[in-house]
Chain A
Amino acid sequence: MGHLLEVKDLEVKFALRMGDLTAINGVSFTLDRGERLGLVGESGAGKSVTGFAIINLISKPGYISGGTVIFDGRDLTGLTGEGMRHIRGNLISMIFQDPMMTLNPVLTIGTQMVETLQAHMNISRKAAEKIALEKLRMVQIPSPEKRLQQYPHEFSGGMRQRIVVAIALLADPALIIADEPTTALDVTIQAEIMELLLELCESEGTGLILITHDLAVVSQVTQKIAVMYAGKVVEAGLTEDIIDNPLHPYTQGLIKALPDGRNPGTRLNQIPGVMPSLIDIPPGCSFHPRCTIRGDICRYESPVLREIPGYRNMAACHMLGLKKEPTEKDRAE
């Protein structure tokens, strides 16, 4: 059996008056059934766009300009309206960032749950409500019967995100794409939601793509990580490999920039500069102006994601796997 999801050379552009901007540029990764992948990067890296591109839900003026998204053997990029509608919320669900904005304020929770089920199966309101109740119980909403009649503003942020998770689970999807699901929440609630998500994905055998800027969160939940920078995957591999043994200079910098409480008060490792905006992505490797191990080739040739001899991670960097491995000392500023 093939992969559940195979994203290959995905490319998304935004058609603007001054010309097309490339938001993601050749993103590839795979996901198996029940597998969890973390899509990590800073704002503007294109991780959310990737998530939305999978279910072909990029808001105008963005459009998918190349590549394929093979889900369960079918290419989703070629699907038209009705075919795609059948995928969304049914086979692939999404969880959004801000639970305060995700639920429609003028419709009851019950309506918003029932309509999702009715959109995908021929089912009575009664039967749909029964499934809704079951899912609300799964996400540990107290007294769910009463909750179905209530409106979103009667819930706290944490509760709303649970409801969103319940909606995502309604049709027993094979894959959930969670776009920064806990960024807007407090740390204790974040821990609750993440644990819930992890437990549910494990017990239901659901695949998960967790999009976040927070490496620490990803490290708790996913088996694989893909690190994105300026619209490209720069490093991909198993979670423990990425965290414990990052190869790409960007991933290394990112992990070392995190204050981890091991040596308080010392200067943090900082990556100089900022991520380029889409308008002026540098030629060659887009990371090279900030890179400490760059060579001449990085200035004009864009590196591809490849296997690095001797390592399990894939990385997109010219300077890796050369005769002389860059050592800690080389990388010092």
Chain B
Amino acid sequence: MKDRLIDIKNLVKHFDISGGLLEQLAVSKGRIIRKQTVVRAVNDVSLFVNPGETLSVVGESGCGKSTLARTLLGLYQPDGGEIYYRGDRIDGLTQKEMLPYRAKMQMIFQDPYASLNPRMTVQQTLEEPVVFHNPSISGSEVKDRVAGVMQQVGVDPAWTDRYPHEFSGGQRQRISIARALMVDPEFVVADEPVSALDVSVQAQILNLLMDAQEQRGLTYLFITHDLSVVRHISSRVAVMYLGRVCELAPTTNLFESPGHPYTRALLSAIPDLYDRRHKYIKLKGEVPTPIDLPSGCVFHGRCPYADGRCSREIPALNHQGKAVYVACHAVEEGRI
């Protein structure tokens, strides 16, 4: 276990959105009751990340992938489970105890228009993390480092005095990546880093991310809904549905022989440029909300292979050999 960079065990994160006491009142069968509304964003998720790899977490909106990433980075306090960084437990640490890990784990965000403080120049944005983590660093050293990183992400270092609104979306995303690289992290969480970008710019950013990984030996946790991107850049993939991991497998295995029925449906839905008019697996019904989770396997209501057991019993993420894990009774029983 020591050789894992990140190890997440049975992570749970719920959000109570019921508001104040008065907001919780509701009427049911003629009686006034107190109703609490809880979004079960992440339920019992176990995952690990090996050093140097790119693990992608994919899923549709509301599946809890962003919450998972933010909980992992300590932006949310988990409601259960454990998080380890190189064997050290890092959930529940105080602000101060967390600091050494903050320099090692960084994040890149989705929206290049919201992820940079509009009132700070590029210089100020990039300086802040370095100076914060190395208070003794000299001014000229900081300047050199800023220039170096800007060079690497492909933004002209002469533009450090500019404000974010003077840059295009792609350039901002480069600056956002630069900010994450400033503290020399070893682990970077990228939350939909190319979803808001146009195709031609998306390719630039993906190349930049792959280059940075190669040069700095970075480990990525890549959150996205775009399966073609996943296939291109990741070594392993975790598929999430309604707050649970339903399949975890090396990329080639996942795309060539998906195990979980949801993964199959998801993969079949990607339009392929060269395979016009291919058939996709149609799922019945609608995605349930994470507020009222179905019993048993969260996917059973839409699954073509579901039986009685699926609606009662939550399937465990089982090892299927060759680093493939699937959480499905039907796969386990060999029905599919």
Contact = CB atoms under 8 A, between A and B. Distances in A.
Nearest to B302: A188
Interface stretch (A57-65, A145-153, A213-221, A323-331): A213-221
A190 B268 CA distance: 12
Nearest to A43: B198
Interface residues of B, number: 42
Contacts of A275: 198, 200
Contacts of A191: 268-269, 271, 280
Contacts of A254: 199-200
Interface string B257-295: 000000001101111111011101011001100000000
Given A188-B266, A270-B204, A260 B273 contact: yes
B164 interface: no
B273 A216 contact: yes
Nearest to A195: B280
A156 interface: yes
A213 B200 CA distance: 11
Given A268-B206, A269-B203, A243 B282 contact: no
A239 to B, nearest CB: 7
Interface stretch (B78-86, B223-231, B315-323, B324-332): B223-231
A220 B271 contact: yes
A246 to B, nearest CB: 11
Nearest to B228: A259
B200 A270 contact: yes
Contact of A261 (B231, B278, B280): B231
Interface in A207-264: 213-217, 219-220, 239-240, 243-244, 253-255, 257-261, 264
B203 A257 contact: yes
A270 B207 CA distance: 8
A217 B199 CA distance: 13
A260 B272 CA distance: 8
Contacts of B277: 220
Contact of B276 (A220, A265, A267, A269): A220
A257 B270 contact: no
B232 A187 contact: no
Interface string B49-87: 000000000001100000000000000000000000000
B251 A257 contact: no
Contact of B286 (A156, A239, A243): A156
Given A42-B199, A213-B199, A255-B273, A186 B61 contact: yes
Contacts of A301: none
A152 B148 CA distance: 52
Contact of B198 (A42, A156, A259, A272): A42
A249 to B, nearest CB: 12
Given A188-B266, A261-B228, 6 more contacts: A186-B60, A187-B227, A195-B280, A265-B232, A265-B233, A274-B200
